Chain A
């Protein structure tokens, strides 16, 4: 089907709808003949019909509707009153129109016929004359047409399609021949008006968006119900049951997919009209513009699509009228005389981003400054101090225009404020960037209230969170204790090196629970490297699950204003999960931003970093607060509850990942420290891997991981449990002697003095 056909189909559908509506309106009008609103409706409908038929040059349609419109116009304006004769005439006209439309549908062209009588009657009524109707002569043409139509309806079952089908399936030639001839003979007389009947045009059904939403919800529920059903197939090894479930599974899947697609429409629906618009506008302005479209297939919710149409049209006009120069100027500046206008659309962070970029002169900042002063918005001194981006903000003021001359395109100063309002009304945002002389780029960010985005599901503190895939650069698994590539302290900010680039990391659990205590560093860190507005940072999560398409649902008004979330979704098991707003997290975490700004300057220093340093874990014991253990010896850190500690003979043990782990209160073995007391609730435990399994070292408090010079000052005289100390800028830190502590413990707490320090190189 080519495009003209498509437009024709649209026309027919529209015309039918109008006719159906007119039928209803006329009936209502008969009951309430003075209802001005109804008459206005009818008038408008016939007017629309007239306009469209003019476009297709369906002359009969146009003339009849024009005559009807004249009569209705008079009635609408109160010059005439609607009476039975006029109603009858109008209905008659309606019938003819319907027949014509049906003819057009079957034949693609207007049926021929004479309507002079009907038209003159309508016009006569419109000019206030009474009709002198000899009943026998009354509108013979239209009657004839109606009669023809009735005839054609009776013939329809025997149409050619039917016959053709018979030819293919039926093998009895005689019967066939008879059928064909009969079909032909029936068709013969009505050739002129009703020849072939091609395909039926199927009607689209108009559905309320709310009804779709409800249906959508039901479908998601259906999916969840299906998910609960699936495990049963494994429990009951019943083939027919499994098959039935499998069937439901497939049907649900398809139902879900179709349902989701139903509301989404590609942005090309709006864009397809732009080439023409741009051509017209640029011709009017005497400019040459080449349009490039990218991402036209980006899908957007239908209602949003309607909402962004006008703003984009306005922005395109602005670009051509204000930013893009005339070919002469462009040539003089060494630019291609044909300007380029880029339209880009795509998904970004759960938003649809639409970019309108031109390579014109960009925003004339000096002119804006001039206008601000002219309009007395700001005095000239302050105006001269405004930055370019501050000047851009003035564009959004109502009534602000830099155009001296008002054209029919722009210059009236009605525009950018309206554009901004329209965009913010649907929860979107608009950003303009225009580096001097480099054209203008306008970015619209439109939320997807019902958009489906691919997202990564991660786990943190026992909950699952969703990260839009668009902001994810890569996933990194990091061993924090590794000397080569661990977490480093960058002036108070945790960073790690990703291919020799410093990437700051933030912990999701601290973002979500800022008042949470010092973090425990797990044996492996799952880092999601994210990008937000050009800033890269790592987000540490506990678990990384899978990638899945999720439906973004807005949070209710009770949860507005939390920058961390972009919305929520319902996962397969029916649980709600929050969708993280990566931009919001990056913005609310200023550290990530700061370090990025500094990183260029500092990277060389860090690369030259003294390799004779080592990471140590700082902790505290009762009575001894500067204790440390080399990070290499730390497997991980956990917190246990006093009640988890159990007795195994005279030893204390705890259950850890299905294993029995010995617990050593190391304060008992170290000179200067007091034996660890019980009854404190949560105890930090440093886990160390020995050849015989894990042992837990119970301490008082865990402080930090720091880097210190790899120079150990051996204790002299030897101290029990301490191998020596290291110096940092301010303090002396005691390194525990783990070997000795273990030996002491295995000797069953029997005091024994060591004359020599056990020769252990803690650095290895």
Chain B
């Protein structure tokens, strides 16, 4: 069975996510920084009236940014009804890939990355890493109970 992947690069690595979760691809969106947020959160984006959290994929994946990389391409994905913008270096292609070429996570990535990668597709000449992008929003993110009285 073939699954269509949107493929992109972050630093020197080649990633793919299933196109089913991708809403759109955009360029140079204006980002409002959120001081005090985690390093991997780049800020907030206004996507036609909707607030979208922009993730710096270099920081998130722990990949050193290459020189002159601006990570200005926004891949907007829908994670459980919430829109998240993945800032990547370049979008490459949309590839239909067969599950037979799939293999588990290679070991040469950092520990952080290993948790975030589902596995890899062996393509001719390079390896496509399948990003577990749904993990970006932690499953435990529920509303904290406010303290009642002092």
Residues of A within 8 A of B (CB): 216-221, 389, 392-393, 396, 420, 424-425, 427-433, 461, 463, 512-513, 553-562, 564-565, 568, 570, 574-578
B interface, size bucket: 35 or more
B110 surroundings in chain A (CB, below 8 A): none
A217 lies within 8 A of B51 (CB): no
Q: Specify which chain B residues have a CB less than 8 angstroms from the CB of A565 in the assembled complex.
A: 34
Residue pair A393, B148 in contact (C-beta under 8 Å): yes
Q: Contacts of B44 on A, CB cut-off 8 Å?
A: 555, 559, 568, 576, 578
Q: Report B-chain residues with C-beta under 8 Å of the C-beta of A568.
A: 32, 44, 51
With A558-B41, A559-B41 as contacts: A553 and B51 at CB distance below 8 Å: yes
> Which interface residue of B41, B45, B148, B150 has the most chain A CB atoms within 10 A?
B148
In B92-150, which residues have CB < 8 Å from any A CB? 136-138, 141, 143-150
| CB neighbours of B82 from chain A (8 A) | 556-557
Question: 22 A-B residue contacts at CB 8 Å?
Answer: A389-B150, A392-B149, A425-B143, A461-B35, A512-B36, A513-B35, A553-B51, A555-B51, A555-B53, A556-B82, A556-B84, A558-B37, A558-B55, A558-B141, A559-B53, A560-B143, A560-B144, A562-B36, A562-B37, A570-B51, A576-B30, A576-B44
What 0/1 pattern do residues 33 to 70 of B give for CB contact below 8 A with A?
11111100101111011111101000000000000000
Most chain A beta carbons < 10 A, residue from B49, B51, B82: B49
Known: A463-B33, A512-B36. A432 touches B149 (CB 8 A): yes
Q: Contacts of B143 on A, CB cut-off 8 Å? A: 424-425, 427, 560
Name the one of B34, B48, B149 contacting A431, with C-beta atoms under 8 angstroms. Answer: B149
| CA gap between A392 and B147 in the complex, in Å | 13
Given known pairs A559-B41, A564-B36, the reply for A221 and B144 (CB within 8 Å) is no
Min distance, Cβ B44 to any Cβ of chain A, angstroms: 4
Chain A residues with CB below 8 A from B34, complex form? 555, 559, 562, 565, 578
B148:A561 contact, CB within 8 angstroms:
no
**CA of A559 to CA of B32 in the docked complex: distance in angstroms?**
13
CA distance A431 to B143 in the complex (A): 18
Contact partners of A557 in chain B: CB under 8 A: 82, 137-138, 141
* CA distance in complex: A396, B83 (Å): 36
- Complexed CA–CA distance, A432 and B144 (Å): 19
**Besides the contacts A392-B148, A558-B38, A576-B44, what 13 more A-B pairs have beta carbons closer than 8 Å?**
A393-B148, A393-B149, A424-B143, A427-B143, A429-B146, A463-B33, A513-B35, A555-B34, A556-B83, A558-B53, A559-B41, A570-B46, A575-B30
Contact B51 A577 (CB under 8 A): no
Contacts of B51 in A (CB 8 A): 553-556, 568, 570, 576
Contacts of B32 on A, CB cut-off 8 Å? 463, 568, 575-578
**A217 pairs with B84, CB closer than 8 A:** no
On chain B, the residues within 8 Å of A561 by CB distance are 144
**A52, chain B: closest CB distance, angstroms:** 38
Please name all residues of chain A whose beta carbon is closer than 8 Å to the beta carbon of B33 when the two chains form the complex.
463
Bound CA span A428–B41, Å: 26
Q: What CA separation (Å) do A553 and B44 show in the bound complex?
A: 12
Closest 9 A/B residue pairs (Cβ): A217-B49, A512-B35, A557-B141, A429-B146, A576-B32, A576-B44, A220-B49, A558-B53, A556-B53
**A578: nearest chain-B partner, CB-CB:** B34
A interface secondary structure, majority: mixed
Residues of A within 8 A of B145 (CB): 424
In Å, the complex CA distance between A71 and B38 comes to 65
Question: Which residue, of B37, B136, B147, has the highest number of chain A Cβ atoms within 10 A?
Answer: B37
Also in contact, A431 and B148, with CB within 8 A (given A217-B50, A560-B141): yes
- A574 and B149 in contact (CB under 8 A), knowing A558-B53, A562-B36? no
A431: chain B residues at CB < 8 Å are 148-149
Q: Which residues of A contact B48 (CB under 8 A)?
A: 217-218, 221
* Cβ–Cβ < 8 Å partners of B43 in chain A: 576
Q: Does the CB pair A424–B50 fall under 8 Å?
A: no
Residue of A nearest to B55 (CB): A558
Closest chain A CB from B104 CB (angstroms): 27
Alpha-carbon distance between A36 and B127 when the two chains are bound, in angstroms: 57
Residues of A contacting B38 with CB < 8 Å?
Answer: 558
Bound form: Cα–Cα A461–B35 in Å: 11
Across the interface, do B35 and A221 meet the contact criterion of CB distance under 8 Å? no
Chain B residues with CB under 8 Å of A461's CB are 35
Which of chain B's residues have a CB closer than 8 A to the CB of A420?
A: 148
Within the complex, what minimum Cβ distance (angstroms) separates A212 from chain B? Answer: 13
Residues in chain A near residue B53, CB distance under 8 A? 555-556, 558-559
Please judge, given known A-B contacts A463-B32, A513-B35, A568-B44, whether A558 and B84 are in contact too, CB under 8 Å.
Answer: yes
CB distance from B124 to the nearest CB of A (A): 36
Distance in angstroms from B87 CB to nearest chain A CB is 13
B146 touches A424 (CB 8 A): yes
Report chain B residues within 8 Å CB of A220: 49
Q: In the bound complex, what is the Cα–Cα distance between A376 and B103 (angstroms)?
A: 58
B85 to chain A, nearest CB (A): 10
Q: In the complex the two chains form, what is the Cα distance from A324 to B15 in whole Å?
A: 66
Question: Please, which residues of chain A bring their CB within 8 A of the CB of B84?
Answer: 556, 558
With both chains docked as a complex, state the minimum distance between the C-beta of B146 and any C-beta of chain A, in angstroms: 4
A557 CA / B53 CA spacing, docked (Å): 9
Chain A residues with CB under 8 Å of B30's CB are 574-576
Question: What is the bound-complex CA distance between A561 and B145, given in angstroms?
Answer: 11
Residues of A within 8 A of B138 (CB): 557
Q: How far, in whole Å, are A561 and B48 apart by their CA atoms in the complex?
A: 25
Q: What is the CA–CA distance of A433 and B148 in the complex, to the nearest angstrom? A: 11
Chain B residues 20-39 with CB under 8 Å of chain A are 30, 32-38
Q: Which residues of B contact A425 (CB under 8 A)?
A: 143
Task: Report A542 CB to chain B, min CB distance, Å.
Answer: 14
Complex CA–CA separation, A764 to B55 (angstroms): 56
Assembly CA distance A500 to B137 (angstroms): 50
User: A554 to B51, alpha carbons, bound, how many Å?
Assistant: 8
> How many angstroms from the CA of A632 to the CA of B53 in the assembled complex?
46
